[in-house]
Chains A and B, each alone.
Chain A
């Protein structure tokens, strides 16, 4: 029945009456008189859509997506670069800090060594001076003692000579007196 309407002059009227009439042969999807109109409109609108999609829509949307992708990648690269920079700065700072610390330590050590050396030197000089003075004092004591001893010997010899002379009336010779004094001094 659909075919019988294929060549109808007024497909509109045909389709309408059939739809009103029921489901028999007037099933619109099999109404072949409408095929040409549908195919022509489909061809026109699908080609228009294809041209719009392929020439305008997809390049535009794809471009936006790609631009965003590039922007994100660029930003990530930039962030990585900045991060590397800050890490390098931190490393430089730490290196600088460590070297400054070691320098400070070196300076401290050096000044301490210097102070120690100076103190040592001063102490040594003082000790030498003291030692010299001690030695001089000892020498003086020794000479004084020697002189005193010599005087004691002379006095002893004189006294011994005088004692012997008084007792015996004989003047003893000097050699025997000094030998006897020496022997008693030693004893």
Chain B
């Protein structure tokens, strides 16, 4: 029994949609899981009713709504609420697809850097374009912190500018690496259980208890991480958007 923790990240084309240049555009397993995530979110938000006293599904929908809304208000102020649909879409898309990905034999959309990078760049350009459109050149005052002595200001500005342009990198790699590493670790530990059981016989059955316990613990951790990384992605988006809305701070 061979452990192949990478296999779960394979992109399998299901059918071809078309061609752009020499690239084949296929509907892949990743596309399928995106569709499933969008369907689940739509179902949750639209089929949950508008009762005065909410049921379970409606409570989940309203808690998601209030959770994202309060996150935006506390980090980007009430002006940030104009980005509510974007942040809500990002949070729910990442959270739901991460949680689906936890289920064994499923595919995790955000375990691919290209997806997280695309989402991070979407945020980056939203911040840049909105910031410049709203504040003009004043937007670039975020690179000049207050109260820094003149002689180290160029150095500080250099670091600020560098960190600004590295934001999409850290923003995307954080999510990607967390999901990738978590799923690999789960697969490796789960693989140990089977490997011990198959190779060492009765002794292996007892020996497999330890990696099994670890797998269970890791699984619980991964559920937390799935939610937490979506939250981190959303709150970082809010913080970056706050720069575009209030560049003076």
Measured CB to CB, the residues of A under 8 A from B are 7, 9, 11-12, 15-16, 19-20, 23, 26-31, 33-43, 45-46, 48-50, 52-54, 56-58, 60-65, 67-68, 71
Contact A68 B52 (CB under 8 A): yes
Looking at chain B, what size class is its interface with the partner chain? 35 or more
Which residues of A have CB within 8 Å of B41? 49, 52-53, 57
Contact A45 B11 (CB under 8 A): no
Q: Which of these, A11, A53, A60, A71, contacts B26 with CB under 8 Å?
A: A11
Q: Which of these, B27, B51, B65, contacts A41 with CB under 8 Å?
A: B27
- Roughly how many angstroms separate A26 CA and B54 CA in the complex, as a whole number? 49
Q: Which of these, A42, A53, A57, contacts B34 with CB under 8 Å?
A: A42
Does residue B171 face the partner (Cβ distance < 8 Å to A)? no
Contact B115 A60 (CB under 8 A): no
- Roughly how many angstroms separate A166 CA and B65 CA in the complex, as a whole number? 155
Chain B window 26-51, contacts with chain A (Cβ cutoff 8 Å), 1 for yes, 0 for no:
11101100110110011001101111
Contact A61 B65 (CB under 8 A): yes
Could you list some 8 contacts between A and B, CB below 8 A? A33-B23, A40-B25, A41-B27, A49-B37, A56-B42, A57-B45, A58-B84, A61-B50
What 20 additional pairs, Cβ within 8 angstroms, besides A37-B13, A38-B28, A68-B52?
A: A11-B26, A12-B12, A20-B4, A26-B6, A29-B111, A37-B24, A37-B31, A45-B35, A49-B42, A52-B41, A52-B42, A53-B41, A54-B89, A57-B42, A57-B46, A64-B49, A64-B54, A65-B66, A67-B50, A67-B52
Also in contact, A60 and B10, with CB within 8 A (given A41-B31, A45-B38)? no
Q: Which of B17, B89, B180 has the most CB of A within 10 A?
A: B89
Q: Which of these, A38, A45, A63, contacts B112 with CB under 8 Å?
A: A38
Contact B112 A52 (CB under 8 A): no
- Roughly how many angstroms separate A35 CA and B23 CA in the complex, as a whole number? 9
- Roughly how many angstroms separate A58 CA and B38 CA in the complex, as a whole number? 14
Instruction: Identify the 9 closest CB pairs spanning chains A and B, nearest first.
Output: A54-B85, A57-B45, A41-B31, A64-B50, A36-B23, A28-B9, A45-B34, A34-B11, A12-B13
- Roughly how many angstroms separate A134 CA and B92 CA in the complex, as a whole number? 119
Also in contact, A28 and B112, with CB within 8 A (given A37-B26, A40-B25, A49-B38)? yes
Which residues of A have CB within 8 Å of B115? 38, 42
- Roughly how many angstroms separate A27 CA and B93 CA in the complex, as a whole number? 24
Measured CB to CB, the residues of B under 8 A from A are 4, 6-7, 9-13, 17, 20, 22-28, 30-31, 34-35, 37-38, 41-42, 45-46, 48-52, 54, 58, 61-62, 65-66, 84-86, 88-89, 92-93, 109, 111-115, 118-119, 122, 176, 180
Contact B31 A29 (CB under 8 A): no
Q: Which of these, B13, B26, B61, B85, contacts A50 with CB under 8 Å?
A: B85
A31 to chain B: closest residue by CB: B11
Q: Which of these, B25, B49, B66, B85, contacts A37 with CB under 8 Å?
A: B25
